[in-house]
């Protein structure tokens, strides 16, 4: 009767069958012994892009150059983390993958808290890079597992849903960062951001410990089998 709703339900079931996406502000519920989670690509935190501008220009008084250095540190961290994840993903089991994701969540959040409280600019940039490296590892491993386990008929809808909710959460986080900056300083916001990001690890590791993150049947494709027929957009 409602074909659109039926398709959305099937898509949601495919997402919940493979629990590789994070829940905004750790909201989750259970259905059919699977952990059903909201989708947010970078975890629950205030937008870090706007935060880098606050730190580079206001906290460290480095002006536009400070903003550029912090973005560069984040970029280097992403490159290192992505390269490491590409190497690691071929060598670990599904169980080791789940533990790795939990560890990455912790490293990401804790490193960002340290970054937000660090009085020295270059050390702050280093911890920001570590935070983004952990994010890259979790992102690459999650996407690789999704490619392996989501079948062809659902893959486009699953990734489209993830991106839609990710950018929706990003808009809310940017608004939250702007509102919070009217009352609290960047360092206080940074602490909250890091703690919220690390909180994802608590629920992820708990779900893994209690057996609610079983490995689904592989119905997708191996990452090395994916063909790119145009210039990739970076």
- pLDDT tens for the chain, 234 residues: list them: 455 556 555 555 555 444 444 433 332 322 222 222 322 333 444 445 556 777 888 889 898 899 899 999 999 999 999 999 999 999 999 899 999 999 999 999 999 999 999 999 999 999 999 999 999 999 899 888 888 877 777 778 777 877 887 788 778 877 877 788 788 888 988 888 888 888 888 888 888 888 877 877 777 666 566 565 555 444
Report whether 44 contacts 200 (CB < 8 A): yes
- Cα-Cα-Cα-Cα dihedral sign, residues 95, 163, 221, 15: positive
pLDDT at 51: 67
The CATH class for the domain spanning 43-225 reads: mainly alpha
pLDDT at 161: 78
Q: At what angle do helices 152-180 and 121-149 cross, to 10 degrees?
A: 150
pLDDT at 147: 83
pLDDT at 81: 97
Give every CB contact of residue 113 below 8 A, 6+ residues apart in sequence: 190, 191, 194, 195, 198
- Angle CA 134–136–141, to nearest 5: 100
For 126-153, b/e burial (b = at least 16 CB within 10 A) is: bbbbbbbbbbbbbbbbbbbbbbbbbeee
Q: Which two tokens stand for residue 1?
A: 């009767």
pLDDT at 17: 45
Q: At what angle do helices 3-17 and 152-180 cross, to 10 degrees?
A: 80
pTM for the full predicted model: 0.75
Q: Which two tokens stand for residue 9?
A: 């339900």
pLDDT at 230: 56
pLDDT at 3: 57
pLDDT at 213: 79
CA distance 101 to 122: 27
Instruction: Kindly tell me the burial class for residue 91, based on how many C-beta atoms sit within 10 Å of its own C-beta (0-12, 13-18, 19 or more).
Output: exposed
């Amino acid at each position: 009767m409602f074909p659109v709703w039926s398709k959305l339900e099937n898509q949601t079931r495919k997402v919940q069958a493979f629990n590789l996406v994070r829940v905004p502000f750790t909201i989750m519920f259970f259905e059919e012994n699977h952990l059903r989670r909201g989708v947010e690509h970078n975890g629950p935190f205030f937008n870090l892009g706007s935060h880098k501008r606050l730190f580079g220009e206001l906290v460290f008084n480095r002006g536009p150059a400070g903003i550029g250095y912090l973005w560069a540190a984040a970029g280097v961290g992403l490159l290192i983390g992505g390269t490491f994840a590409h190497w690691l993903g071929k060598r670990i089991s599904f169980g080791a993958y789940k533990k790795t994701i939990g560890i990455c969540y912790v490293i990401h959040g804790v490193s960002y808290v340290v970054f937000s409280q660090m009085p020295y600019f270059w050390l702050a940039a280093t911890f920001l890079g570590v935070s983004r490296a952990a994010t890259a590892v979790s992102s690459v491993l999650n996407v690789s597992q999704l490619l392996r386990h989501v079948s062809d008929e659902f893959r486009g809808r699953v990734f489209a849903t993830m991106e839609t909710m990710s950018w929706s959460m990003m808009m809310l986080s940017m608004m939250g960062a702007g509102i919070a900056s009217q009352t609290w300083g960047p360092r206080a916001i940074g602490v909250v951001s890091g703690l919220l990001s690390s909180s994802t690890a608590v629920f992820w590791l708990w779900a893994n410990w209690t057996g609610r993150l079983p490995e689904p049947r592989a119905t997708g494709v191996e990452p090395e089998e994916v063909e790119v027929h145009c210039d990739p957009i970076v």
